[in-house]
Amino acid sequence: MKAAAMNAPETLIDTTLTLNGEAITRRIPVRQNLVDFLREEMGLTGTHIGCEHGVCGACTVRVDGNIVRGCLMLAVQAEGRTVETIEGLSDSGEIADLQDAFHKRNALQCGFCTPGMLLTVQDLAQKNPRATREQIREHISGNYCRCTGYQAIVDAVETVLAARQIKV
């Protein structure tokens, strides 16, 4: 790396995005990843940051309706996009039943993985509402939980998928 690059002032780009339903514009350093922007600039600390190389899933957010890794996307790449975080999904009530089931089934202990886990299982519920336990496990395979051993998480998700089927 050239010394000049190291010492150059960080470039900022005006970026407009829709965040949890609200249009915002911020001047964002190009090097900042989406999850750091959400946590540090927007104060949305529900999205966690773990490994910073796409392995742990703690930073999972929804961009234009699809879940992605918040640590593997630059915040400036959110220009014109719709970003939703655990705060947005919580406030809208979209995943209230999942949150309730996670609570009742002891599907979290320390809670570090939980926001990313909830976004990932909501994605599964939308794409494959009749998922089997095996398919639930496959879908959450990119979200590490170091507390529960996953069994309780799979139980909670299975319960909610079944309950949503009855409601439909």
Is residue 41 within the footprint of another protein (CB under 8 A)?
Answer: no
Per-residue contact string for residues 109-148; x = within reach of another protein by CB under 8 A: -----------x--xx------------xxx-xxx-----
Q: To the nearest whole angstrom, how small is the minimum distance from the Cβ of residue 166 to another protein?
A: 26
Here the tokens at position 33 are: 């990843």
Residue that has been written with the tokens 């439909």 in this structure: 168
> Helix 114-127 to helix 151-167 angle, to the nearest 10 degrees?
40
What sections of the chain are H helices per DSSP?
3-7, 34-36, 86-92, 96-104, 114-127, 133-139, 151-167
Residue closer to another protein (CB basis): 99 or 143: 143
Q: Could you list the residues that contact another protein (CB under 8 A)? A: 1-2, 5-6, 8, 10-11, 13, 30-31, 33, 36, 52-54, 57, 60, 66-69, 71-74, 76-77, 79, 120, 123-124, 137-139, 141-143
